[in-house]
Amino acid sequence: MLLVRDIRLPISCGEQDAIARALRLLGLPPRYAAACGIAKLSVDARHREPVLVYTIAITLQDEGEESALAGALPCVCFTRKPQFSFAVGGQPLAQRPVVCGLGPAGLFAALLLAQNGYRPLVLERGLALDARVAAVTAFEQTGNLAPNANIQFGEGGAGTFSDGKLTTRVGDPLCAFVTETFLRHGAPPDIAWRQKPHVGTDLLRGIITSIRREIEALGGTVLFDTALTGLQLDAGGGRLRGIATTKGEFACQTLILAVGHSARDTFAMLHGLGLPLTCKPFSVGFRAEHLQTEIDASLYHGAAGHPALPKGEYQLSRQVGGGRCVYSFCMCPGGRVMAAASEAGGVVTNGMSLHARDGKNANAAVVVSLDGKDFDNDPVKAVAFQRGLEQAAYRAGLAGGGAPYAAPAETVGSFLEGAGTLALGRVTPTYPRGVAPYSLGSLLPAELAEALRTGLRAFGSRLAAYRAPDGVLTGLETRTSSPVRLLREEQTLECTALPGLYPCGEGAGYAGGIMTAAVDGLRCAAALMERNRPMEGECCAQPQKE
């Protein structure tokens, strides 16, 4: 397959115009091509008039001629579709492998194991997706929080209630495995070629359920409402021999631990066992909401609203004093702010978009970075800091006259002035439990609050929407990523202190976002497979008897 890159066309042109340009650049008549299509499409909006930038994929009738054309122009290259093969070790497992967590990392780890005959046992502390959605809806309406069925826990993990972004800076070929799997299970075809692919939370739910059913059809077993509570070691304490769960004990010699960034009780259990947990960088801040039309106008100027242009997205950052960075994160075009608490008495915000991204508001996290030195490199202090902010936000919502789990909020202009007011203008907050006026700066250490003010002012110099004083800030955003990392060997991906345990994904501190977590799940499953072959004979998912 040939790729012809950097075909730049006005927004009035379309796919066929780009294909025709690519063939002309190659000097080929259309009859020589067996197939042509978009391999990548992005928008260059750096100047007043946005342009579409295409990469066109061309397969020739005689594929043997393709390599000869590669390099004919700087924009032309030859590529082959990735082929995936995974080594299988010689030592048979005594028990089926266990995967703990059914977010992106656990889901793809279990899928790869199931596809290769390992019949994994998958534990998920939360509920299956339909029941989980019902629990989230009930919380939004009533304030009754289910600790294991919320936006953080349940089938699909935290990414289920998000924009469903598949963007990543990871150049791993396994990204193609993830994309192909999503497409096979019903994702929109354009995730294969858009520069910033997204699925949307509404479509993502069906895809996740479909992948889980494939795992089960291939011999895997998924146990919902089953939380990991302990690890059992052999007599010498050097290897894993079993696990304890809320549904009983299971023999286990290989465990892929993909519990997500909010499994604080699991972090505490691992710390209590003396396993090597360290602090890792994470960030805190709030959700910023603007009118989506303002974001579009800020990015596309006079072309805003043109049907060829996607909903406007942005990514902003500013280095501030003390080695910190203020940046936007998890931007959700046409989305809404979500009530993402997983512990009683704490308020957590997040963002979500449907596939159509047709909501009135855009929202993004605006956060400031923290690292281990802020907590004396003590992971217990890092988790306590997160929890303390969430509890303070809960109390602030009540103090401002809100219902339980109402979120504290103020307008951008008020936050910059330290006024603590919420004089709403054109932007109506979307947080489902309601918002209450409160000084967000007072909920954060003074250094972090000032860093966020500096960042917001800098954002306003780059994006006009951030100069609007009636943008709404809703707090607090605390779960940007895991505050801890469970150390693992670079080659085997096993925990440095416990062979057979594979720390995996975002909760273990090795990923951030759906795509990178899924890839890490695949890498951990591949590492497990490379050392072990599937167990022989029948397998059983029943807990051990006393």
Q: Is the same domain home to 20 and 97?
A: no
Higher pLDDT, 1 or 530: 530
Contacts (Cβ under 8 Å, ≥6 apart) of 57: 1, 2, 3, 35, 36, 37, 38, 39
Residue 539 included in any domain: no
Q: What local confidence, expressed as pLDDT, does residue 48 receive?
A: 80
**Domain match, 376 and 500 both:** no
Quick: pLDDT tens for 28-45: 999 999 999 999 999 999
The pLDDT-based confidence of 546 (bands split at 50, 70, 90) is: very low
Angle subtended at Cα 339 by Cα 338 and Cα 344, rounded to the nearest 5 degrees: 165
* Entry pTM: 0.94
Please provide residue 205's backbone torsions phi and psi, each rounded to the nearest 5 degrees: -60, -45
In sequence order, which residues have a C-beta less than 8 Å from that of residue 528 and are 6 or more positions away? 97, 113, 254, 256, 502
Find where tokens 């279990």 sit.
110
What percent of the chain has a predicted confidence (pLDDT) above 70?
98
Same domain (yes/no): 348, 417? yes
pLDDT in tens, 265-313: 999 999 999 999 999 999 999 999 999 999 999 999 999 999 999 999 9
Each as own residue / partner, the long-range contacts of residues 463-466 (CB below 8 Å, 24 or more positions apart, any chain) are: 463/295, 463/298, 463/299, 463/314, 463/316, 464/294, 464/297, 464/298, 465/290, 465/291, 465/294, 465/295, 465/297, 465/298, 466/288, 466/290, 466/316, 466/412
pLDDT tier, 542 (very low <50, low <70, confident <90, very high otherwise): low
Structure confidence by residue, pLDDT tens digits, 330-383? 999 999 999 999 999 999 999 999 999 999 999 999 999 999 999 999 999 999
Q: Which residue has the tokens 């591949």?
A: 526
130 and 226 belong to one structural domain:
yes
CATH of the domain at 12: 3.30.70.2700
Q: Based on the domain organization, do 100 and 241 belong to the same domain? A: yes
Could you list the residue range(s) of the whole structural domain that residue 128 is in?
91-278+482-533
- pLDDT interval class at 543 (50, 70, 90): low
Contacts of 239 (CB under 8 A, 6+ apart): 233, 253, 498, 499, 500
Least confident of 147-151, 178-182, 429-433, 511-515: 511-515
Cβ count near 67 (within 10 Å): 11
Residue 100 confidence (pLDDT) above 80:
yes
Looking at residue 163, its pLDDT comes to: 87
Domain-ending residue, one of 459, 477, 495: 477
d(CA 498, CA 241) in angstroms, rounded, equals: 11
Mean pLDDT across the chain: 94
Instruction: Give per-residue pLDDT as tens, 500-541.
Output: 999 999 999 999 899 999 999 999 999 999 999 998 866 555
CA distance 309 to 452: 31
